Structure 1
Amino acid sequence: MKTLSQLLLFVLATQSLLNGVVLAQDFDFFYFVQQWPGSYCDTKKSCCYPTTGKPDADFGIHGLWPNYKDGSYPSNCDPDTPFDPSKISDLKSTMQSSWPTLACPSGNGMTFWSHEWVKHGTCSESILNQHDYFDSALNLKKQVDLLNILQSAGINPDGGFYSLRAITNAITQATGYAPGIECNIDESGNSQLYQIYLCVDTSGTNFIKCPLLPSGKCSSSIEFPSF
């Protein structure tokens, strides 16, 4: 009887642990986040170009982040599934172009991508394995060319100031969905266009209406710096 009781306790404990993992990986939608490199670099903190050279003057991927509708999000869901560079070897060159690191000291992107996988990607691995996670983000970027959308609306990365409403409207009209706009502050204290959020369904494939838009801390008129 004692052995049976111990076995039952073990089964219950194991089931509880598994339930915890499933719950940790449950989420409502993704934020697909792209950042403007000129705004990343034009702060007091500055930036470092990757070891592969200065990135193109284009929006780069920051991440694909699982989120809940209440504004919270899961993170670091599976410490037993670390980042494995060999699983994205076929994506590496595209990622260096579309998902470049600007952090200091200079790197080849692996530290940045590892962070994104461990913190965010592992929370979606019941749906997307590591390769699929990064590949999905790259495909989403191909679907939405933010720089072209803005330039077609006369909004250019020329150091000029543009209305937040005009930027939001241009992206909404082109994609069918209202974006979240995040700003940061340049060295002179000006509000500048930093990151653009679009929402994606839990398959990591289709853009959707955002259940919740992030607070972007933007002025009504914001700078679009050159890079």
Structure 2
Amino acid sequence: MFKDWPDLKRNDQFGFWKHEWNHHGTCSPWYNNPKMYFQKTLSLKRHFNIFNVLKDKGISPSRNFILKDRFISAISTFPGSTILICQKRRNENNVFEDYISEIRICLNMNLHPTVCIKKQMWEQFQI
């Protein structure tokens, strides 16, 4: 889990996994089996392999600016719909910049790609 599903934002692994279980796992088909939930999510991560898709398009996690259209083009091959979660941060010149903090591939309860449900609290780009 440390290697395959790290917390890249806050560096709080156990808090992050606890959040993932409480927010997502408890409404999954494995709501009474955390081990199965995390095994399945890691299996889905390998199946969709989003990091390799981005890497093949020359995109890797970094502080470098990436054009939104380039990023969207890279992930447009994913089935169903994909949501990019964007946030703002201050750069070294104390100016706010947008950055992509999450990529979500939406699945239904049978783990088939589906249309994502938008939440108003996030600025999102749905593909």
Same fold (TM over 0.5): yes
Contiguous gaps of at least 5 residues in structure 1: 1-94, 220-227
Pick from 92, 96, 114: which aligns with 2:2? 96
**C-alpha displacement of 1:121:** 1.9
> Partner amino acid for 1:199?
C
- Cα separation, 2, equivalents of 1:211 and 1:100: 23
- Identify the match of residue 196 of structure 1 among 80, 85, 103: 103
Give the TM-score taking structure 1 as reference length: 0.44
Query: What aligned pairs does 1:43-192 form with structure 2 within 5 A after superposition?
Result: 95-101=1-7, 109-124=13-28, 127-128=29-30, 129-157=33-61, 159-173=63-77, 175-188=78-91, 189-192=96-99
Displacement of 1:115 in angstroms is 3.0
Cα deviation code 1:175-222 (max 9, x no counterpart): 23331011112222111121111111203x43x131434565369xxx
Q: Aligned-pair distance for 1:154? A: 3.2
Q: Call closer, same or farther: CA 1:158–1:100 in 2, change over 3 Å.
A: closer
Is the Cα contact below 8 Å between 2:83 and 2:124 reproduced in 1?
no
Q: Do 1:192 and 1:218's aligned partners in 2 also have CA atoms closer than 8 Å? A: no
| TM-score, normalization by structure 2 | 0.71
8 Å Cα contact 1:164/1:218 also seen in 2: no
Q: Percent identity?
A: 26
Distance 1:213-1:118 versus aligned 2 partners, 3 A rule: closer
Aligned residue pair count: 118
Structure 2 equivalent of residue 56 of structure 1: none
For residues 186 and 179 of structure 1, what CA distance do their matches in structure 2 show?
22
Question: Any idea what the Cα deviations from partners look like across 1:103-142, whole Å, max 9, x if unmatched?
Answer: 76x65x3333223223332223xx2122221111111110
Which residue does the alignment assign to 2:115? Answer: 210
Q: What's the Cα RMSD here?
A: 2.8
Secondary structure at the aligned position of 1:190 is classed as strand
Q: Do 2:85 and 2:124's aligned partners in 1 also have CA atoms closer than 8 Å?
A: yes
Distance 1:132 1:185, change over 3 A: same
**Is contact 1:183-1:194 (8 Å) kept?**
yes
SS at match of 1:177: coil
State the distance in 1 between where 2:16 and 2:60 align: 28
